[in-house]
Each structure stands twice: as C-alpha cells, then as structure tokens.
Amino acid sequence: MNDSPGWATPGSSPSDGERPETPGEQPQPPTQPADAPKWSAEQPPPGQWQSPAPGQDPPPAQQGGGWGGHPPQPPRYGGQYGYPGGPGQWGQPPAAKPGVIPLRPLGLGEILDGAVATMRAHWRSVLPITLVVATVVQVLTLLAQKFLMENLALSSDRGPVTPSELLGNLGGNLPVNAAVQLLDLAGGIIVTAMLTMIFSRAVLGQHSSVSEAWRDARPQLLRLIGLTLLLILGSVLLGVVLIVPVAFTGNPGLIALAVLLCLGLFTWLWIKFSLASSALMLERGTVLKSLARSSKLVSRAWWRILGITLLTAIITVIFAMIIILPLQMIGFTVFGEGLSAMRDPLAQTAWGPLILTSIGGIIAQAVVLPIQSGVTVLLYVDQRIRREGLDLELARAAGVENYGG
C-alpha cells in the first residue's frame, strides 16, 4: 500500500482459500517456538504458589527470573490485531488508532462516529467542498423551479383540474425534474470523489487540503462519472425489462408483482455495488474492476451493509428535513399566504419560499453529503480489514511501529 490515499489493489484475500499442499509433501509436526517459556526444574512445594499482593515486590526467588523461576519474557506482540498485551490481561488489547477509526473491524457506532469525527477534525477541507457544490446545485435548482416550473404549475384557485391539464403539467415538469436530478447527480459525483480522498487520509491521521483532494481525485473523475452513468442506465433498463411488458397486460396483480420484483432486484444490486465508487477512487482501477471488487467485498456481508446504509439514509433524511421544513414554513408564512399555500403548486414557485428552501438545502447538504460519503468509505475500509487484513497496510502507511510483529 502506498502512503498516498490511493491504496493498491490487494492480491488474493485470506478468505479465498488455504495454501494447497504439494503432492507427496508430508505434513510437518508442530514445532515449539524458540521463545516458548522454559519451566524451571526447581518448583516450589505444593501449596506455596502465591502471587504478590498489590504494591508488593515478588519474592527474592522470583526476582530477575520471572514468576516461579520462569525466565523473564520480553513484551509479546500478538493477538488478533497484533498489539501488545501483558500477561494476565483479559480481553483484546486496544487497536492502534492513528486517525479517525481504530485499525480493526468496525462496528456501526464506530463507522458513524468516524464519519462525524472526520467532519469535525477536517472541516477546513470538507466544508468548502460541500458548501461550494451545494450552493451551485441549489442556485441552479432554484432558477429552474422559478422560471421553468412557474408556467407549468397548476393553481388550486382554478377549480378542478382536467386529466389533459394534469398530463400536460406532468409532461412539462418531467424535463425540469430530470435537469434538477442531473444537477444533484453531478454535484454528488464531485463531492464523492474529493471527500473519498479526504476520508482515506483521515484514516491514516493525515490532513488533506482542498487542492490536494482535487489533485488526487481528478485522474479518476471521468471513470467515476462513467461508473455512475452505468449504474443509472442499469437501473433504468431493469425497470423497463420487468415493468413495461407487464404494464401492457393491464393486470393489477401482475403489475404489483413486477414492481416488487424490480424493487427487490434494484435493492440487491444497489448494495452489491455500493462500494464500487470507493474501490474505483482508492484502488485506481477501471469501472468494471471496481464493480467486481465491490461485489467481492459485499459478499457474505450484504445484510449488514444494507442495514448500515439504510440507517445512514434515515438519519440524514431526518436531519435534512429538520433544517429544510422550518425554513420552508417560514417562507410561506412571511412571504406567502400562510401554511395553506404549501398545497398550491403556484405558490411554491414564489421567490420567498424558494430562497429559504434553497438556504435550508445548502445547509443540509453541507452536513449530509460528508456523512454519506464517509460511511461508504469506512464501510469499504471495514470490509477490506475483515477480508484482506488491510489494517496491516494502513498501520504501515500510518507509521505504526511493531504492528503485528
């Protein structure tokens, strides 16, 4: 692994299989390590094994020679993660933590805490990226909603809406909504690319400036765009293949079944390839290799990654709504005709509600995007630690001494 945030693609992981035996090779009996404890030939009589009281020196017979005449042992480095633990200690010694996470398999709380800790410790790099991207996206979205959707909105004061008016309104809104989604997608790609580099350095305890993050992310940016578009195209084709043919039958039961099947497959593929962006940016491979890496890392951990991803999405959506809804309500109350105007599509295109809603969106995205990106990167790191022993590579890159010796 390099000391830079880009991590080299690993070889076969320990879980890929054990070392095959050579034909004709005889299994070797286990040998005793050279540093194994040597028991003293002179043992104390029965009933005289004692441990010194707290604060009391060992008996003279044991001084300099270890307990019960044992030779003194040097500090032992071992355990599951290779960190020192003295004799008589219970439990796993604490893992090294050069950066925002300990170098061992992570729990849910440690993944979320690592994402938040990176925002706090590296806010000078994280906030400028998210604020600039969120501001550009929200301003363009505001202009699109104001000037493109104002003529398409149907006011509730006009009376009943005819089906033709409704279809025309939906057809006119479709390009606007597609443009807004593309803006969000483009902003999300840039933020994901740059924040991935910042989080990868934060794991090693290293700081990264905005210029350094852009320099590291730029070579892979086009591939990240291609990966994102490929995933979107695959999702659209999945819906077309499963739902459109059944829709022509007019059978509500078959249509509902097709929709459920489509949602299930979409969720399975979404989680299966959820780590592809991190693999693409940090291993600097191709689009297809990143998809294969994500599929391998997610295998046998699909439900766990699904739960963490859904929980993160719920937390971020609730946080965004807490910020956006009050500002939106203030906009309708101060600049509109009260909260009842929230049901009027035409009132939603007024300047006051749009501006306050956009301000809330900027604040929410500045916090939500780093958390989402951070959880994805840390899930990728966690899976590689569990499957491939990446903690050894990270410790070496972070300069941790005597790791796993």
Looking at residue 71, its pLDDT comes to 44
Helix-, strand-, coil-residue percentages of the chain, each rounded to 5: 65, 0, 35
Tell me, what DSSP letter sits at residue 37? P
Q: Are 76 and 85 in contact (CB under 8 A)?
A: yes
Which residues lie below 8 Å from residue 390, measured CB to CB, with a gap of 6+? Answer: 1, 7, 10, 381, 384
Closest listed residue to residue 353, CA positions, set 337, 334, 331, 383:
331
Which residues lie below 8 Å from residue 167, measured CB to CB, with a gap of 6+? Answer: none
Give, for all 405 residues of the chain, the pLDDT tens digit: 444 444 543 434 444 444 444 444 454 554 545 544 444 444 444 444 444 454 554 444 444 433 333 344 443 333 344 444 444 445 555 788 999 999 999 999 999 999 999 999 999 999 999 999 889 888 888 887 776 655 554 444 444 445 554 445 545 556 666 667 777 777 788 888 899 999 999 999 999 899 999 999 999 999 999 999 999 899 889 888 888 888 888 888 888 899 999 999 999 999 999 999 999 999 999 999 999 999 999 999 999 999 999 999 999 999 999 999 888 888 778 776 655 555 555 556 677 788 888 899 999 999 999 999 999 999 999 999 999 999 988 998 888 887 765
Going from N- to C-terminal start, the domains of the chain cover: 108-216+300-398
